[in-house]
Amino acid sequence: MTTMVQTMPISTSSLTPYRMHLLRMHRSCEPVTPPATEQTADEAARRARLGFSAVGHFMPAMAKGERRRSRIWRVLQIVLAVAIVAAVFLAVIPQIADYQDVWGILAALTGFQLFLVTAVAIGNLVTYWLQSIAALPGLTLRMAAVQTQTTTTIANTVPGGGAVAVGMSFAIFRSWGYSDGDVARYTVVTGIWNTYIKLGLPVIALALVAVEGRANRQLALASAVGVAALLVSIGLLALVLWKESFARRIGSGVQRPVRWVERRFHRTDRKDWGNAAARFRRDSVDLLRRRWVWLTLATILSHLTLYAVLLVALRVVGVSQSEVTWIDALAAFSFARLVTVLPVTPGGVGMVELSYIGTLVWAGGARTDVVAAVLLFRALTYFLQIPLGAVTYLIWERTKDRWHRQDRRTTSQPRRRVPARAAG
């Protein structure tokens, strides 16, 4: 099927000079059509998506400007990330503890101590795979391992890598036969659940400190406000999932203050958050109705096992319960997790280490021991994942055709491979 693209001739013999001038102005803004007299429907649709049918040759210029600004912003992100990491590891941490003393502590660890903390770290990795399995029906453990480790490596090494990791998730899941709807639902649901845990852990830690009797009035008040805010947000999510009308109202209501801020910075978001909330409800309500318990348990388990790695690292290097209690360690862990919400550096490297060290030293830990424990913890949970993700990427490249889903059960129709039709 083809669509004919024709231009209507316009007689200019009877036009006044002023009207000729208007005609020339009009023609300069007309859509640019291809030189051929006909084009396929696919080509017409592609050109329409690029904006030729709406704003003509101005659209590519606008896209070029956006790409240029995006490149500048990416360069600034890289420069800022490198500056922060260099400042933290070369200037700030050496003022807290001497690296030679830190290395002496780590080198003195026994084989059993290293095995213990490594085993807990490996167990933590597996819990992330279980969360993916809970959020995406039909996913196997090995598939979850490949996808999780590959995208984690991207997020941990590329400035602004979270967005790149999402794109990689789409590529991996599509190669296995999952539809875009499946992947979008997986991304949104796991993101919401992880955010709730990150926001809830500091509240729980503050509440435990208050119960222990070590909190002042300000900390107790902050804990109460945090609990109230968390309960309100959970209630809003429940309303979003309950009725589509609530979803639209809540989405639109949340967008209003965001749009006010955007107008102050001359930024505009053309997306309708009300429609987005309604679409999320339609796509996710069936999945969450059947799997919310397993998804919640897997998400909590992944964060608690990560905390366990930190606690074991503190104990094996010699930070005792009398110096830093398990509640203090939980508070340090929960507030450091909040730092990762703001992706200033890839994986929060530099910022996260500084947050852990500052909080644990403030809680009573010896500086050198705390720095040794934090570097051991980050080596196992951050740096070790980078080469592991490179390996899982190679596994995906070699197995993506063999792992393509045929009959796995899913909540939406699988994406089928359609053979390319011959031209003509």
More confidently predicted of 93 and 217: 93
pLDDT recorded at residue 121: 95
3-state secondary structure 158-217: CCCHHHHHHHHHHHHHHHCCCCHHHHHHHHHHHHHHHHHHHHHHHHHHHHHHHHHCCCCH
Mean pLDDT of the chain: 75
Distances (CA, A) of 358 to 91, 303, 308, 329, 333: 15, 21, 19, 12, 11
- Asked whether the beta carbons of 336 and 355 are under 8 A apart, the reply is yes
More confidently predicted of 37 and 184: 184
Element of type H or E holding 114: helix 111-135
Max avg pLDDT among 12-21, 130-139, 198-207 = 130-139
Helix, strand, coil shares, percent, the chain, to 5? 75, 0, 25
Residues 6+ apart with CB under 8 A from 236: 250
Range 242-248 average pLDDT: 63
pLDDT recorded at residue 301: 94
pTM higher than 0.75 for the full model? no
Model confidence at 400: pLDDT above 60 = yes
Residue pLDDT, tens place only, 323-376: 999 988 998 898 888 777 766 788 788 889 998 999 899 888 999 999 999 999
Residues 6+ apart with CB under 8 A from 201: 303, 330, 333, 334, 337
Structure tokens at 348: 């929060």
Residue pLDDT, tens place only, 198-234: 878 887 887 787 777 665 555 555 556 666 666 776 6
Among the residue ranges 19-23, 46-50, 179-183, 237-241, the one predicted with the least confidence is 46-50
Q: What span, in angstroms and rounded, lies between the C-alpha atoms of 68 and 234?
A: 40
Q: What is the DSSP letter of 4?
A: E
- For residue 330, how many C-alpha atoms fall within 13 Å in the half-sphere facing its CB? 17
Fill in the amino acid letter for 254.
V
Q: What span, in angstroms and rounded, lies between the C-alpha atoms of 61 and 120?
A: 53
pLDDT band at 6 (very low <50, low <70, confident <90, very high): very low
Closest CA to 143 of 115, 116, 98, 178: 178
Q: What angle do CA 309, 311, 317 make, to 5 degrees?
A: 100
Structure tokens at 336: 């450091």
- Give the start-to-end residue ranges of the domains of the chain: 68-399
Burial class (CB in 10 A: 0-12, 13-18, 19+), 143: buried
- Asked whether the beta carbons of 335 and 204 are under 8 A apart, the reply is no
Residue pLDDT, tens place only, 266-319: 566 566 666 666 666 666 667 777 788 888 899 999 999 999 999 999 999 999
pLDDT band at 44 (very low <50, low <70, confident <90, very high): very low
Q: What span, in angstroms and rounded, lies between the C-alpha atoms of 381 and 310?
A: 9
Range 149-169 average pLDDT: 83
pLDDT recorded at residue 67: 64
How many residues are there in the chain? 424
